[in-house]
Structure 1
Amino acid sequence: MKAAVLVAPRQFELRDVPVPECGTGDVLVKVERCGICGTDLHIYHGNYSLDRLPLIPGHEFSGTIAEMGSSVSGLHIGQAVTADINLGCRSCFYCRKNEILNCTKMVQIGIHVDGGMAEYVRVPAHAVVPLPAAMSLQEGAMVEPLSCIVRAFRKSQLRLAESVLVIGAGPIGQMHLQLALRAGAAPVIVVEPNVQRAQLAKELGADVVISDASQVDAAVRAATDGRGVDVAIESVGSPELYEKAFTLIRPGGRVIAFGLAKPGQTFRISALDFVLREQGLQGSVAGMGDDMREAATLLGYKRIDVAPFLTTIYRIDDVEHAFARLAEDKSVLKIQLQVA
């Protein structure tokens, strides 16, 4: 089969490799679409999973079932699916709590083991997520990234009429914005310097969009009666923006740490202020288990608009150009690879 293999940082090779062997409890998925996300860019630049190279990346994929192991039931050949990429031991303390990322045996498809930037990918049957009948395969490749937003929403414990600040309006920030609106947050404020992304945030319903960094403090205070927001979501991965987020939440407010920083980067906050203001900090990074199925339901019922992220498509043969463009061109929100 054809596969895009990352052999070294910033170096892909398009290779003809063996089709993965489908074990008795596995499903072989014929990949149709595979998205490129921020984590993939971290891998591409050598900031993440460097010890796993050479690797076939790709964890935002969708396709149809081409083969099933002998012990697999409840699925069928030709069925449209995606997958929960987080594979744990399924029996430890963390797996039982659906905190699979903390399982000591955890691996992620496309991050630690070969993923969806290939014509076929092997998935354990228990990790297969069927797609709603009305969902296209290009939308299906958005289930995994949306599941990450679903999990962050849960961890935020967002309540009706709470104010939300989304820092960064890339595709992840735009989905944070939409889910906050659907959950009844008010107002929802977005900070984004890029003109096109800021405009999209307005079109998707943001109550306040701030593009001028010098106006952030005043605009946030004006929108929240001077208090600061209840919840700030950092979706960029900048230590400076993490520190800024704590200055923009109210006493008793909380920061959701979502953006991936580079290894070794840290941010500083005042321990005294953190305690006296009774603020909160919660990390969240990946959707898993029910998060995936709930994301599929939300997309199936069109509760989240992913159409703006489905406009830039590259063939898998052009994977190097696709990664380079996504890294450099801020006018591009999202790139999917057409694999089949």
Structure 2
Amino acid sequence: MERVVQFTGPRQVEVAEHESAPLPPGHLRVRTRYSGVSAGTELTAYRGTNPYLTRTWDAGARLFREGHAGIAYPVVGWGYSEVGEVTEVSPELAGTPGLPAAGDLVWGIWGHRSEGVVPAERMAGHTLPAGLDALAGTFARVGAIAYNAVLAADLHLGEDVTVFGQGVIGLLTTRLAALSGARVTAVDALDGRLATARAHGALRTLDAREDAVAEEVRAATEGRGADVAIEISGAYPALHEALRSVAVGGRVVASGFYQGDAVGLRLGDEFHHNRVHLVCSQIGGVPPQLTGRWSVERLQRTFLALVAEGRVDTASLVSHVVPAAAAADAYTLLDERPADALQVVLEF
């Protein structure tokens, strides 16, 4: 039997059981060990705020269409950060160079389920690097999101960058920006996360509740403002403060998943007068100017290589490993007590 975590309605979680499907040609079967929970995108489906619940994405027109939902409850197997062991390989694929073999530990996307039946081409090159703990593999996708934001920031050695939001992806962004040679100021509203940001490379931290962030950033940069700000919390007031914090002609990378109307965002203020460049970073693709050299696949593999080399620490970011049977408790924790958690992982 296969176990699958699903949302049956807003803030309603259950673990359903289904018969395991036969393995079709061209596929691998993977027994899940760990599946990371996204505190951003996943919670939009859990809370009922995801735009796909009320609109449909028209991929051809690149527009959302009103009137039809793109997804509906139950939302089944929503995750995108899985690690598991290959237990079955379609016979015609046995021995194919570059593909995982039975017994290999692999990372990828097959959702919060006890086993995944995955097209083999999607798993090429997805064997976990030697010596890397299996839990680290659950960071491949979130690490790529952070990496993508840093590439979109176009950072240069010695530049000042302010990172708004120090959840898991924000902390990884702080670390990668520091590795890129930037001087990082980390902003968050939670003291514990600011302390963790310092451990991950932030030179300065600011409390979004108490500090005049834009003014403090300008004071620390001889009045210029940051060269770049990366907003990764998905909060409109944070995006507005990021726009206030950068220099004339500076860049703001909006990498959060923003929900609802833009309350707190005023584009007639500093954004307009300082001619700020506002760009979106989204894991559906890399920055357009880098498409000849980078891909989402390269982001994921390079990030895991940095973890394997000891240049990025993911182990300290795992705050809770929760049995899959108690998945509802994991979502309640992230929804109601975010200060008590960083990366929550389901164990199957």
Which band: TM-score by shorter chain?
Answer: 0.7 to 0.9
* Deviation at residue 195 of structure 1 after TM alignment: 1.2
CA RMSD across the alignment: 1.9
Alpha-carbon displacement from aligned partner over 1:260-318 (angstroms, at most 9, x marks no partner) = 111444744138x6566442111112272211111121111121111222231110010
Correspondence for 1:333: 342
Is the CA contact (8 Å cut-off) linking 1:143 and 1:299 kept in structure 2? Answer: no
- Segment drifting more, 116-125 vs 315-324: 116-125
Equivalent residue for 1:318, pick from 323, 326, 331: 326
Is the CA contact (8 Å cut-off) linking 1:196 and 1:331 kept in structure 2? Answer: no
Correspondence for 2:117: 122
Equivalent residue for 2:212, pick from 205, 209, 215: 215
Correspondence for 1:79: 104
Q: Secondary structure at the match of 1:214?
A: coil
C-alpha distance 167-312 of structure 1, shift in aligned 2 (>3 A): same
Correspondence for 2:282: 285
Is the CA contact (8 Å cut-off) linking 2:4 and 2:113 kept in structure 1? Answer: yes
Q: Does 1:44 align with 2:39?
A: no
Alignment of 1:158-197 (within 5 A): 158-186=155-183, 188-197=184-193
Q: Secondary structure at the match of 2:340?
A: coil
Q: What is the rounded CA distance, in whole Å, between the counterparts of 1:30 and 1:122 in structure 2? A: 9
Q: What is the rounded CA distance, in whole Å, between the counterparts of 1:158 and 1:333 in structure 2? A: 26
- Segment drifting more, 282-291 vs 39-48: 282-291
Amino acid at match of 1:256: V
Correspondence for 1:94: none
* Deviation at residue 198 of structure 1 after TM alignment: 1.1
Unpaired runs of at least 5, structure 1: 86-114
Q: Secondary structure at the match of 1:325?
A: helix
Correspondence for 2:224: 227
Q: What is the rounded CA distance, in whole Å, between the counterparts of 1:42 and 1:17 in structure 2? A: 25
Correspondence for 1:300: 308
Q: Does 1:57 align with 2:57?
A: no
Greater length-normalized contact order (CA 8 Å, ≥ 6 residues apart): 1
Correspondence for 2:268: 270
Is the CA contact (8 Å cut-off) linking 2:251 and 2:278 kept in structure 1? Answer: yes
Is the CA contact (8 Å cut-off) linking 1:64 and 1:78 kept in structure 2? Answer: yes
C-alpha distance 218-64 of structure 1, shift in aligned 2 (>3 A): same
Is the CA contact (8 Å cut-off) linking 1:36 and 1:60 kept in structure 2? Answer: yes
- Segment drifting more, 48-57 vs 189-198: 48-57
Alpha-carbon displacement from aligned partner over 1:307-337 (angstroms, at most 9, x marks no partner) = 2222311100100011001112212112101
**Runs of 4+ displaced beyond 6 Å:** none
Correspondence for 1:199: 195
C-alpha distance 276-70 of structure 1, shift in aligned 2 (>3 A): farther
Q: What is the rounded CA distance, in whole Å, between the counterparts of 2:36 and 2:20 in structure 1? A: 21
Alignment of 1:66-105 (within 5 A): 66-72=87-93, 73=96, 74=98, 75-83=100-108, 85=109
* Deviation at residue 71 of structure 1 after TM alignment: 4.7
* Deviation at residue 216 of structure 1 after TM alignment: 1.3
Identity level (%): 28
* Deviation at residue 151 of structure 1 after TM alignment: 1.4
* Deviation at residue 52 of structure 1 after TM alignment: 4.0
Q: What is the rounded CA distance, in whole Å, between the counterparts of 2:158 and 2:30 in structure 1? A: 42
C-alpha distance 46-20 of structure 1, shift in aligned 2 (>3 A): farther
Q: Secondary structure at the match of 1:63?
A: strand
Is the CA contact (8 Å cut-off) linking 2:244 and 2:271 kept in structure 1? Answer: no
Give aligned pairs, total.
Answer: 307
Amino acid at match of 1:63: G
Q: Normalising by structure 2, report the TM-score.
A: 0.83
Is the CA contact (8 Å cut-off) linking 2:214 and 2:242 kept in structure 1? Answer: no
Q: Secondary structure at the match of 1:233?
A: strand
